[in-house]
Every structure is written in C-alpha cells, then in structure tokens.
C-alpha cells in the first residue's frame, strides 16, 4: 500500500515544522518546502532520523512555475499528493501611512496568493484520483479580529477564508475537501518578534485572558491539521477551525 503524501509550505519553522513532525508520526511521507533552506533541511533530517519519511525542497510560494514543477515532480515520484498544508506566511508591522503598494502586494502574494498557487497546482492530480485534502492557514485576525498596523495581514488572512469556501464548493464533486485553520496566539518565532508582533511580554499578557490559561504551541495547531486531513474529518469541508484556547468566545 502506498504511503500517503503530504506537502507542507513554510515547513522550516513554527506551525509548519510541527505539522511536518505530526504528519510523519501519523504515517505520511512529508514533503517539506520553505524559503528557509537551512531550517527546512534540518527539519526533514530530524524526521528521517526519528524513523519517518521526509525530504526538503526549496520553494518560494510566489513562484507559480516552481510551484507547478514541484507538485509535478512529487506526483511523478510518489504517485500523487494526498494532502496539501498551505502554511507559508509572513506578518510585518506596517502603519497605514507607510503601507506602500509594494508592501501590500508582498504580504498578499505570500499569505493569500501562496495558498492559491499550491492548491491550484495540486488540484488536477487530486481530481484524477478522486480524493484529496487541502488545508490552509488563516488566523483569528482573518476571522474575527482586526490588527493594528497589520491591515495587509488581516486582509490576506480574511481572503484565505473566502478561498477555502470557494475551493471547497468547486472541488467537492471531485472528492476533494478544503478546510482552514485559524490559530490564535501561538508561540512561534513570528509571534515572539517584538518588531512585528506581540513579543514575549505580549504573549504572557495574552495568556491572562485566554480561557484555557495559556498561549498555544505549534503542536496544538499541527494536531488539528492531521485531524482535518484524516478520514475522521471525512464529512468536513469549507470550514475554518479556530484554534485559540477559547480566546474569541471568552473575551467577546
């Protein structure tokens, strides 16, 4: 029986890296992709050292030709891609007065365009096989919150929600499920950046008003991704699952 294959974008650090580990433990062959070459290769090597099947490929999700070529290579080598986890994203703090067209487009091109490109590339193969799962990372900033000096990020992550819904309807007849995950405050390098996000002190403060009493860990999101890809979620499509420790329902 062929080992199922998952392709993860932004797999070098944070949620992507933890998801790669979680999928490997669940019995998947993991294709890790990232622009972070050193981190991505190290993550793949650690999975292999632990007995899993993994490999790293450099991928900038803004590059349509490279995205298409990589998907084609993986399909030819392993007989298909069962799951795509579109996780790659950036979050740069930019006040509106300084938000140039270039900065706006840069974030939208990665956080929303990157999801679109990898889904578009993987869909034909999934359609031919009559099955597949696409999972996209949104954010609580895309489903409920606004974020001061991050309007480009919030817009992109809101766009992911619409993309999930549209793709879910269009691809359902071909046996492909499309869902999203909207993480809350998760302890990642991005969230720990004082320049672009909350920083350590901000995360500690956030934990005080999260009902479960802590900020999330990347593994908390990774396990939800594995669930959404599994047969246990076979009747779930077009949904964006909030993973926030009760933040949204507890604070408002």
Q: Determine the straight-line distance between the first and last CA of the chain, rounded to whole angstroms.
A: 48
Highest mean pLDDT among 96-100, 148-152, 183-187 belongs to 96-100
For residue 24, give Cα distances in angstroms to 1, 5, 99, 218: 16, 10, 39, 15
Query: What's the rounded mean pLDDT across residues 159-187?
Result: 96
Instruction: Specify the pLDDT at position 208.
Output: 83
Instruction: Specify the pLDDT at position 204.
Output: 75
Query: What's the rounded mean pLDDT across residues 6-13?
Result: 98
Residue numbers annotated as active site: 153
Summarize pLDDT for 29-70 with one digit per residue, the tens.
999 999 999 999 999 999 999 999 999 999 999 999 999 999
Which CATH architecture describes the domain 5-187+220-243? 3-Layer(aba) Sandwich (3.40)
Query: What's the rounded mean pLDDT across residues 241-249?
Result: 95
Least confident segment among 69-83, 140-154, 198-212: 198-212
Q: Record the pTM.
A: 0.95
Residue 147 scores a pLDDT above 90: no
Q: Which two tokens stand for residue 92?
A: 């740069």
52 vs 191, residue with greater confidence: 52
Least confident segment among 27-36, 93-102, 180-189: 180-189
Helix axes 113-129 and 151-171, enclosed angle (nearest 10):
10
Report the b/e string of 94-115 with b at 16+ CB within 10 A. Answer: beeeebeeeeeebbbbbbbbbb
Above pLDDT 70, what percent of the chain? 93
Local confidence band at 206 (pLDDT 50, 70, 90 cut-offs): confident
Query: What's the rounded mean pLDDT across residues 126-153?
Result: 94
Residue 90 scores a pLDDT above 80: yes
Instruction: Specify the pLDDT at position 187.
Output: 76
Which residues lie below 8 Å from residue 11, measured CB to CB, with a gap of 6+? 17, 19, 20, 30, 32, 33, 34, 40, 43, 56, 87
């Amino acid at each position: 029986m062929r080992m199922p294959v998952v392709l993860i974008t932004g797999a070098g650090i944070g949620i992507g890296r933890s998801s790669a580990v979680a999928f490997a433990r669940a019995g998947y062959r993991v294709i890790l992709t990232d622009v972070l070459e050193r981190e991505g290769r190290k993550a793949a090597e650690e999975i292999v050292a632990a007995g899993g099947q993994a490999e790293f490929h450099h991928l900038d999700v803004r590059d349509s030709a490279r995205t298409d070529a990589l998907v084609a290579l993986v399909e030819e080598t392993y007989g298909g891609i069962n799951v795509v986890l579109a996780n790659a994203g950036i979050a740069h703090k930019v006040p509106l007065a300084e938000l140039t067209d270039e900065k706006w487009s840069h974030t939208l091109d990665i956080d929303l365009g990157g999801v679109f490109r990898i889904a578009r590339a993987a869909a034909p193969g999934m359609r031919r096989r009559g099955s597949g799962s696409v999972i996209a990372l949104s954010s609580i900033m895309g489903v409920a919150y606004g974020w001061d000096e991050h309007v480009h990020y919030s817009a992109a992550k809101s766009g992911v929600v619409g993309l999930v819904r549209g793709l879910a309807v269009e691809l359902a007849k071909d046996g492909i499920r499309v869902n999203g995950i909207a993480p809350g405050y998760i302890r990642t390098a991005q969230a720990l950046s004082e320049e672009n996000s909350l920083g350590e002190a901000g995360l500690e403060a956030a934990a005080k008003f999260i009902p479960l009493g802590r900020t999330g860990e990347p593994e908390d999101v990774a396990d939800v991704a594995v669930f959404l890809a599994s047969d246990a979620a076979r009747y779930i499509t077009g949904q964006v699952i909030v993973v926030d420790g009760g933040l949204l329902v507890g604070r408002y």
